A and B are shown apart, each in its own frame.
Chain A
Amino acid sequence: MVQYTKARLDASFAALSDATRRGVLEQLGRADASITDLAEKFHMTLTGMKKHVGVLEQAGLVTTEKIGRVRTCRLGLRRLEQEAAWIETYRQLWEARFDALDQVVEELKAKEKADARKKRE
């Protein structure tokens, strides 16, 4: 997790080191946009903008979705990573509970056995 986070941060800061990419984030902060929109706004070729968006996407800062022939970009904010981390915490909570429940089940089983023995005597 630590390793992963560090790599993520490096990618994020590298992505932010470029003025155009910071501009793209600023733009997407106002509204979602297609790659074509962004290319026009920043006076760039489609290929050039695709590269920038690719870097932002790899850093988890932007997500893109292709609907028909248009690829729409929006601020990513690492929703998927956040969800994965939350689900792992949720799993750990249940695992901790269930480990304690194992103990309770063992004790109840032992008690049931002892009671049955007593009844027979």
Chain B
Amino acid sequence: MKNETTVERKSERELVVTRTFNGPARIVFEAWTKPELLKRWWAPKSFGISFVSCEADARTGGTYRFVFSHPSSEQPMAFFGRYIEVTPHSRLVWTNEEGGDDGSVTTVTFEESGGKTLVVLHDLYPTKEALDAAIASQSTSGFDETFAQLDAFLVTLR
């Protein structure tokens, strides 16, 4: 049975993702901190993303750099930042610096209970505007394309 993934906009500048895994925290934590394991799940095939390279020095003060390719983009996309806190088997905090100063800080907690691990991921943006901008710039679903025509019309009204 698959466990449910939930996402909630917890506040004006915070998104929270939760998911339970059927394994102990030390194993789940290992999969989040070793590049050779991260590589196997961070870039989902169903999204057409694949890793070009994956570097992660998961120690407090260490850095990471993930480079992906996607068929729709000629240039590879790089995501990078640094680990602010790495507490084995319980907590990971890193920065997301590819977007400049408006990047979020991601906190992941691992809570083990009865051989299962609850993972809670917080993405905290510096301001409400930064999260709104992330939402506006990355809204690339078909849903928005449907509205492109109408938007073009509305722009002529301005």
Contact = CB atoms under 8 A, between A and B. Distances in A.
Interface in B1-59: 2-3, 5-7, 9, 15, 17, 19, 21-23, 27-28, 30-31, 37, 40-42, 44-47
A12 B5 CA distance: 33
Contacts of B15: 87, 90
Contacts, number: 112
Nearest to A5: B146
A77 B9 CA distance: 20
A61 to B, nearest CB: 8
Interface stretch (B72-80, B86-94, B95-103, B131-139): B131-139
A100 B47 contact: no
Interface in A41-81: 61, 75, 77-78, 81
A77 B154 contact: yes
Contacts of B17: 90-91, 94
Given A9-B146, A93-B47, A99-B2, A86 B138 contact: yes
Contacts of B144: 82, 85
B74 to A, nearest CB: 22
Contacts of B9: 83, 87
Given A96-B46, A100-B44, A112-B27, A90 B143 contact: no
Contacts of B40: 100, 103-104
The A contact surface, by secondary structure, is helix
A61 B154 CA distance: 9
B31 A101 contact: yes
Contacts of B121: 94
Sorting the interface of chain B by its residue count into under 10, 10 to 19, 20 to 34 or 35 or more gives 35 or more
Nearest to B23: A105
Contacts of A30: 158
B139 to A, nearest CB: 5
B157 A26 contact: yes
Nearest to A29: B158
B143 to A, nearest CB: 5
A102 B154 contact: no
Contacts of A13: 150
Contact of A103 (B6, B19, B41): B41
A29 B135 contact: no
Given A83-B135, A86-B135, A104-B41, A98 B5 contact: yes
Interface of A: 1, 5, 9, 12-13, 16, 22, 25-26, 29-30, 61, 75, 77-78, 81-83, 85-91, 93-106, 108-109, 112
